Amino acid sequence: MQGFEAYHHQKKIIADLEAAINLLQWDQEVNNIKGSLARRASQLGTLSAIKQHKLINETYPLVQKLCDAPNLSTFEQKNIEQDLKDLKKITRLSVEFAAQLAEACSWAQSVWEEAKKESNFKIFEEPLEKLLNLKRQEAEYYGYDTEPYDALLDIYEPGAQAKQIAELFSSLIPPIKDLLSHIQKKTKPAEDILINQIFPKEKQWALGIDTLKHLGFNFEKGHVGVSSHPFSIAISMEDVRITTRIDENNLHLMLYSTIHECGHALYEQGLPPEYYGLPVAQACSLSIHESQSRLWENNIGRSLAFCEFLFPQLVAYFPDALQNYTAYHFYQSVNRVEPSLIRILADELTYHLHIALRFELERSLINGQLKVKELPEAWNQLIKEYLGLEVPNDAQGVLQDIHWSLGSFGYFPTYSLGSLYAAQFYNTLQKQIPNLQEDIKQGKFESIHQWLQENIYSKGRLYTSEEICQAATGEKLNPQHFIDYLKNKLETIY
């Protein structure tokens, strides 16, 4: 075995190790066996160290050698070039540091669970402080031109810089606040018919499974579970797992969490299995990944056409709660705009105010401008400034998200970027599929799947987010598509 074949073999081994790590993380989050936490942290550290050792001592030298190899196809060259970029960064971390970081994340996650349950940030201070020190160290290893946060942002959105993200929010937040103010002055929020009634858990679960089937989730290559914080994780493209959460007094939470995670899963299940391990069989970036969940959750899932398709099924499952309402009531309900303390419960409009404040805080933490002990107060002040709300406790405030306990600093901005890409993709879908709304109304999603397969899934990680966007829509990322999409929908509803 030699050349590209040997390289692909080596990449499969790395992918297998990543699969084992992901499987352990899935089990920790879903099954949460408390007595296993210390051992689980050690196991994750060991696997991360083995993976890092192989990347540094086996994969990197092979990729370097192949860079100058003759007779490689364009496809092979593109995979090699992408991997070389990744490996130059990855190999800057020692095996020991990779293991230390993995253990710190596992510990922080378990303590965060306890702190959130107790609504006490002080419990979380020590592991967060340790994790922040390691993430700052990681940023120094990777290197950066302007500020440490750039190095971490680049992990999730290659090429992005904090200055650019700050400029994006500076242009995005004013029209969002203007539209919010306009809506609040004009009328009260629409009635939310999916809360404050009884929606039995077993029926919600069955509805969620049916919805996943309608949307095209492949249950032969996937699994669904329940967790306190919905998420998706790919063991491989043949084993993609998602979770949802169920509250008997809130059908909205289960339904749209499920649709959101389904978007992530469809992306992973759509990647080419024959290239397992190679960049072409990996998602482009976190923003493109998020564009897929947002596209299905919001642009499609909150459209009038989708509401008309799904509502009869909701009534069949919950006749006592919903028989006196119409599909349009459902449409109004799921597009209701009202500031909320909780990010994952936020509407499409105010959601980005949540992301902007998290970006501001984590950037300040990493760059050393904000101390860990100051975080709750800073959080509460920004919630007041951005959303006009008072934070009653840590669980509904600074402890509500799992991301920082996982070491995912630089992740949050990809949520907003994903929404912007989703709106632009949806705009193009409407132009290129003449009967799109009628297809959605009838529950026919084949044309959408085909477009996404051709324009997103099949590209893997061989192209940047901007390159995929340009090729698929004919222009670079344009936030105006998102603003126009929200204005057109919300002005009609309100």
DSSP character for 397?
Answer: T
Mean per-residue pLDDT, 176-191: 85
One-letter amino acid for residue 87 of the chain: L
- On whether the CB atoms of residues 138 and 152 are closer than 8 A, the answer is yes
> Distance (Å, rounded) from C-alpha 115 to C-alpha 68?
52
Give a three-class secondary structure readout of 341-356: CCHHHCCCCCHHHHHH
Q: If phi over 0 gives left and psi between -120 and 50 gives alpha, with beta otherwise, what is residue 216?
A: left
Q: Looking at this protein, which amino acid is placed at residue 27?
A: D
- Cβ 302 vs Cβ 347: under 8 Å: no
Amino acid letter for position 318: F
Tell me what the mean pLDDT of segment 85-96 comes to.
86
Q: Is the dihedral of CA 339, 343, 348, 350 positive or negative?
A: positive
Tens of pLDDT, residue by residue over 358-413, are: 999 999 999 999 999 999 999 999 999 999 999 999 999 999 999 999 999 999 99
- Between residues 480 and 41, the one the model is more confident about: 480
- The residue ranking higher by pLDDT, 348 or 32, is 348
Q: Which domains does the chain have, with CATH numbers?
A: 3-143 (no CATH), 162-493 (1.10.1370.30)
Q: What local confidence, expressed as pLDDT, does residue 25 receive?
A: 87
Q: In sequence order, which ranges of 318-409 are alpha helices (DSSP H)?
A: 319-322, 327-334, 351-366, 375-387
pLDDT one-digit tens code per residue, 241-298: 999 999 999 999 999 999 999 999 999 999 999 999 999 999 999 999 999 999 999 9
Buried b (16+ CB within 10 A) or exposed e, 118-129: eeebebbbebbe
pLDDT score of 91 = 82
Predicted confidence (pLDDT) at residue 94 exceeds the cutoff of 90: no
> Cα separation of 489 and 306, whole Å?
14
Q: What is the mean pLDDT of residues 293-312?
A: 98
From CA 440, how far away is CA 458, in angstroms rounded?
Answer: 23
Q: Which two tokens stand for residue 392?
A: 């009653």
What's the average model confidence in pLDDT over 61-75? 90
Residue 203: phi, psi to the nearest 5?
A: -75, -35
Residue 148 has a pLDDT of: 96
pLDDT band (50, 70, 90) for residue 1: low
- Mean pLDDT over residues 147-152, rounded? 96
Q: Is the pLDDT higher at 212 or at 186?
A: 212
CA atoms within 13 A on the CB side of 352: 27
pTM of the model: 0.91
Residue of 18, 157, 261, 290 with catalytic role: 261
pLDDT above 90: residue 90: no
Most distant CA atoms of the chain, gap in Å = 70
DSSP structure string for 51-78: HHHHIIIIIHHHHHHHTT-TT--HHHHH
Work out the average pLDDT over 204-208.
97
Supply the pLDDT for residue 414. 95
| pLDDT tier, 487 (very low <50, low <70, confident <90, very high otherwise) | very high
pLDDT above 80 (res 186) = no
Dist CA 253 CA 147 (whole Å): 37
| Amino acid letter for position 182 | H
Q: Are 195 and 252 in contact (CB under 8 A)?
A: yes
Mean predicted lDDT score pLDDT of the chain: 94
Task: Assess whether 297 carries a catalytic annotation.
Answer: no
Angle at 266 between CA 263 and CA 270, to 5 degrees: 145
The pLDDT score that the predictor gives to residue 207 is 98
Taking the C-alpha atoms of residue 270 and residue 280, their distance in angstroms, rounded to an integer, is 11
- Give the per-residue pLDDT at 318: 98
Contact 467, 159 (CB under 8 A): no
